[in-house]
Structure 1
Amino acid sequence: MAKTPKPRKLKQDLMKGGTIAVGGIEGPTTVVTTPEGVRLGFRTASFGTRLGALLIDLMIMIAIPIVLVLVYFLLPLEHVNLDMAPDHPFRQLVNILIILTLFFARSGYFMFFEMGPRAATPGKRVMKIRVISHDGGHLTPAAVITRNALREVELFLPLTLSFQAMAGGGWLGLVAFLWALGLALLPLFNKAKARLGDFLGGTRVVHVPREALSFDLVEQAAVSSWLQFTPEQVAAYGEKELTVLEEVLRERRASTLQAVASRIKARIDWKGPKAEADMPSDESFLRAYYAALRAHLEGRMLMGRRRKDKFDPAT
């Protein structure tokens, strides 16, 4: 007698209050809802993976001032005397440069890289993880600044206070250390595997999809005559939807491709070929639409015009 297959496990979407069938993804899953109402599942970055990325980034941050010191000794700067008076203009300039360097190495480092197109620091790239917005769209500067500003409260500030207090004795150092330890271990005690900065910034850290998007394939998909789109059809979406569509194409899950393709076809009122044999696959349709939408948005950018999302008026 054949065994009855077990139903797929339903994972609670904590941000949207619904459920999603999680299939084909090993381990904890982070669920985001696209602007088209399609729910996507990403493999959540584990605590160990995030810790490894942080350690790599910390080593890079420590190396930055070391490299600057080495550069100072290697360059012919015998005439530079750092023992000059504190109010000397050159001494003040050096102090400013040191403060700016330490700020970048401590806070600006994370913000700079996570605001980039990869949304990942060098450590995250090595560990093959990245930061995403909870709604699947672009990471906003406010979200990146919030999640990284909270790192000061979570890690750097309490550890600094801890070391200073322990050097002088007293219980304040222990309290600061326990504070940092408790917040550092927070990802182990929530389903989203998120730290405090992720919750307040509306971000999540996930594994980078294995499948890289091939732009050659996107261009090839748009060769057929019925995969050409009118300007009105292409203008239906903006940059946020383009980012989501790129993630869908990278993931290449059949159910998601079908759902997204159906919604786009309905929104742009796309009429396919009459012959069923000539009907493009969902993936071919989405790749063609991605290529057309990307070209449309890039053309607008050259003219100094941008469209944030589908709700942004097309001008």
Structure 2
Amino acid sequence: MIGAVRRRLGRLRRAVIALVVRWRAWWMQHAFLPLRGRGAARLRYAAVLDGQTLNLHAELPRAVRGAEHAEIVVSGRRRRHVTEARVYEDGQGRTLVDAAVLLGAGVGGAGLTPGRWRLRLRVESGRRSRRIPLLLLEAPHSYEGTTRPMEASPLTGDRYRIGWTATGSARIRCTPARPSVEVVDVHIEHARIDVDIRLLGMADARGWSEFVASGRRVRSDLADVEPGVWRVEVPLTDMVPRSDRREHWDVVLCGGSRRPLRFARRLHDLSDPQRVFTMRKIVVAPRRDQLMMIEPRYTPAGNLRFTCSRVSTAA
């Protein structure tokens, strides 16, 4: 019952958002574009595809055609970041600008702090320099298929999203990484399970991990493997089911004042990670004369889970 209500509310929310987007596109085309189009560059494409690179494609207004040089200026909080842009003419005589702006000081790009940042275009022709706004008249493109734009930087977990002001000027919103545990690799040995992880949105690696099943907990400390990567391990003898029923084990990070964080894999561009991040089942003998099957997988939410079941020796 609750699930059905949530699905209906989700469909209603998506329908309302789609209606608002269509209304905004019509309003921008018929109201703001005639007023501002003469002195502003129009973005034909704007997206952050890999989670940390802003890709822009814009058409310059007639008033500044013939520009020889262009730069993208990201400004806010008394700071600004400048990135070179490519200026060229197409076969129809239009002057176009292409740019790729790397975002995030941690990856060598523009060091944006949390908040909203303005996007403007600076063009030069001879000794003349002019700064013009970038108009975003339509919502960012939606994607269907096996992949989609990444929602966060795969290296830092920070989020960058394209938006617009009330007058249609483009801007970028920076959101810091949420506290999370990103799975790097999973190793299943005959005697134990090792899980390598990265910690995002946290100042340090204090705490411990717990493998949790119904009424059972197995603690494991974090071991430093390499800079930014930690490993947790659990003996398979501690995960043997107590009955013939299957047991599902989740892995969480505990410690400090925060709530336990699930081990997960969310920094990807896949529409259906369950079908891609597949891991093979394995049969092990954690105890003498006892076999156990381990099925590692990711849930629809991206959380790591191990399903353990007994295997009959007769079989």
TM-score (norm 2): 0.24
TM-score (norm 1): 0.24
Question: Which fold has the larger relative contact order, with Cα–Cα distance below 8 Å and residues 6 or more apart in sequence?
Answer: 1
